Amino acid sequence: MTDKINELLRRVEAFRPKTAAEVEEFRIRVLGKKGELNALMEEFKTVAPELKRELGQQLNRLKNTALERINTLRAELQNAAADQTSEAGDLTRPGTAEPIGSRHPISLMKNRIVEVFSRLGYTVADGPEIEDDWHVFSALNFPPEHPARDMQDTFFIEKNPDILLRTHTSSIQVRMMERQKPPIRVICPGRVFRNEAISYRAHCIFHQIEGLYVDEGVSFADLKQSLLYFAKEIFGEQTAIRMRPSYFPFTEPSAEVDVSCNLCGGKGCAVCKGTGWLEIMGCGMVDPNVLSANGIDPQKYSGFAFGMGIERIAMLKYGVKDLRLYFENDVRFLHQFDTAF
């Protein structure tokens, strides 16, 4: 009987399972009701009384060793599985195609506009969203009584009339003229803020891209051809533009730019209100007063500037009819732009 006990003890100590199922199977075979240890216990009942003490101690040692070994193996396999899952995931799990997100339509359109103007030699410039009166208004030829300075249009910081949230990215153009001598050719994308009621066609937060080109001999013809190139790249080769006289404090002459409606081909529809044209931006030649205020000689240099709302261009390009959709982060809306551009 001693030989049987030693043989089972050797197999317990030598057992090397690979799975928890193997451990459980081994436990049943050794310690189960019909296991090998119980068979030895039945045989123990028939041994001579003088041998019971020694064989009883051997059986107890076998039972304790088997229990300890099985518990140790269970813990080792559980720890190994936990380490595998935490570091590299469950390596036994079948592979799955994880869904990927999509860029926001505003980001898509901004990147597209920047890419188009980069071909014309424009570089991207940036500036702070919290600005002062000089960079937002005064340096851009806004007189003190201009309506844009009114609290109804502008968010001021802590009632300080000199600190405000920028209402346009023209403030970036001012900073570029302050620190860089002509030639200047920059595109200025960014978020802007105006104190307006939120509706399907207006929001208190929106995004603009403005451009500035200052050099010797820059003309209105250069402005028109640049914007025609832009319109054709964004809306298609068949697109035409028209420029209507307008007024901006920082440009003279100034114009509003319309593109032919890409939905009806200029024939007139509900989107273009039957006119065949859609307004996309404002533009003009930089006012000499603005050049002088920023340390640039208007006798030597001239330039043009333009500005557009990214939401507006995206609405026309994608057919979005409600401006609020851009800010709701509804994945059903955003997933429509997975393959845009």
Please report, for the domain that includes residue 160, its CATH number: 3.30.930.10
Res. 152 pLDDT band, cuts 50 70 90: low
Q: Are residues 305 and 172 in the same domain?
A: yes
Number of domains in the chain: 2
Q: Are residues 206 and 82 in the same domain?
A: no
Q: Are residues 71 and 171 in the same domain?
A: no
Q: Are residues 61 and 33 in the same domain?
A: yes
pLDDT tens per residue, range 66-109: 888 888 888 887 777 666 555 566 666 777 777 777 789 999 99
Q: Are residues 68 and 169 in the same domain?
A: no
Residue 251 CA to residue 298 CA, distance in Å, equals 13
Question: What is the rounded average pLDDT of the residues 56-60?
Answer: 79
Res. 117 pLDDT band, cuts 50 70 90: very high
Q: What is the side-by-side order of every strand in the sheet holding 277-286?
A: 123-124, 184-193, 205-215, 302-309, 277-286, 251-260, 241-248
Q: Are residues 160 and 259 in the same domain?
A: yes
**Predicted local distance difference test score (pLDDT) of residue 341:** 47
The answer to whether residue 66 sits within a structural domain is yes
Residue 224 CA to residue 244 CA, distance in Å, equals 12
Q: Are residues 128 and 265 in the same domain?
A: yes
Question: What is the rounded average pLDDT of the residues 115-128?
Answer: 96
pLDDT tens per residue, range 230-277: 999 998 898 999 999 999 999 999 999 999 887 777 777 776 788 889
Count of CB atoms situated within 10 Å of the CB of 71: 12
Task: Decide: pTM greater than 0.75.
Answer: no
Structure tokens at 76: 């080792």
Q: Are residues 117 and 73 in the same domain?
A: no
Domain boundary among 88, 115, 138: 88
The answer to whether residue 100 sits within a structural domain is no
Res. 338 pLDDT band, cuts 50 70 90: low
340 CB burial (10 A radius; 0-12, 13-18, 19+) = middle
Residue 109 CA to residue 259 CA, distance in Å, equals 17
Q: Are residues 208 and 233 in the same domain?
A: yes
The answer to whether residue 317 sits within a structural domain is yes
Domain that holds residue 145: 105-337
Helix (H, G, I), strand (E, B) or coil at 260: strand
The answer to whether residue 141 sits within a structural domain is yes
Does the structure show a pLDDT above 70 at 51?
yes
Residue 59 CA to residue 6 CA, distance in Å, equals 10
Structure tokens at 25: 């199977």
Q: Are residues 134 and 248 in the same domain?
A: yes
